[in-house]
Chain A
């Protein structure tokens, strides 16, 4: 099961401060919304893919793998636009652009997750003034996915031993058959959460407003440089879109 995308590699993107990567991702997604011209979206998609490949050492095959689950959605997008816009060829063109927009957004998010470890990612969010509690909640949630998965396995084994057959029957029967697994799982998850909160409190969680960090991050000159590049590129995007009116097609 996939619960952690992070792949340890030695690349420029991996070494970058998480804050810069978070800001770049947000601005990147924003510029995807800025433009709707398929040509422009295609250029952006290619540049994202290339920068992930060369700056992040994420191979094209790996990029393809993350896009795969999106294919049905992308195909639907392409197929629907010809019905909305006249003539159909123009609709197809626009639909293609929108599918690329979807793919680009997924790639940006994926790029952030694959080049940043969970710890760094959450630290980055906290340093960007997200409340620590939310950061901790996120960490715990991610940390508990494998635990819950293991528990679900145990419960499944227990119910199978009582004659529960999960593979047989219609879709509805199968759906109904998940109840004996879901209920113990939810009850156990709630109990664990309750115990965890007591354990946290007994370790003085929230006793002091200011926390210290054992491991922390610091912006280096290359991080500032990268941030300036990111801001410049976003500025350029705004300039293209609003001053030169490039990359936007009036649809109606």
Chain B
């Protein structure tokens, strides 16, 4: 379980980024939403120890982040950053994925096995010899997830995993996220895309100016007046509500309900 207890974060220059945030989650998909500058990334960086609390505590499976290094915590919490290219430096996909396990000190056979398994998880089998920079956007994103997954973390933080991707690539990334969730990973999804929240999240946490304003189910979340927080409902949900079809999670849901109605 990841537990955030009364967390405050104040950056140098005294900008208060987080005010008394408390939160706990385990094997669920939690969407972390909020407008730009609301503290989402700051909160996420606390979960694997990249930032240390100004006040309060973050406990990851019993480990206090103050007392453990990022390298140690990275075995438990994997953080996939927004721009996948910020992490690629090897000449091929295999070596790229192997970098993390090497840092963990695994043996060569173990590494080989793990890379194979991970590439299968993100549907990149047969890409071992390709150059990371030569992949498409969706493939790069999935490779980034693979690089983190190779550390075999229990929890995954995904920062804007589908931003800037076309429909098909985004779909491929979503498929991977769903699969990882089914296999028991806890996933924290940082995103601006309400469609993604609607489709994937079980639970939504809303940050606004460093404070946690809402923490509840996705259904309750979309009942809020989101415009107050510079957010908006997905179009498909609006249509469904206007047709009195109630709450739906995806276009598929919507079509089923529509058919029932007709």
Contact = CB atoms under 8 A, between A and B. Distances in A.
Tell me whether chain A's interface is mostly helix, strand or loop, or mixed: helix
A151 B86 CA distance: 8
Nearest to A152: B86
Q: Could you say which interface size class chain A belongs to?
A: 10 to 19
Interface string A129-165: 0000000000000000000000100110111111111
Nearest to B72: A163
Interface in B76-90: 78-79, 81, 83, 85-89
Interface in B56-79: 69-71, 74-75, 78-79
B78 to A, nearest CB: 7
Interface string A167-205: 000000000000110111001100000000000000000
A161 B88 CA distance: 13
Contacts of B69: 165
Nearest to A185: B86
Q: Could you say which interface size class chain B belongs to?
A: 20 to 34
A26 to B, nearest CB: 38
Contacts of A180: 87, 89, 99
A158 B81 contact: yes
B74 A160 contact: yes
Given A163-B103, A184-B89, 17 more contacts: A154-B83, A154-B86, A155-B87, A158-B79, A158-B81, A161-B74, A162-B148, A162-B151, A163-B75, A163-B104, A164-B103, A180-B89, A182-B89, A183-B88, A183-B89, A187-B85, A187-B133
18 contacts: A155-B87, A158-B79, A158-B81, A158-B86, A160-B70, A160-B71, A160-B74, A161-B81, A162-B100, A163-B103, A163-B151, A164-B71, A164-B99, A165-B69, A165-B71, A180-B89, A184-B88, A188-B86
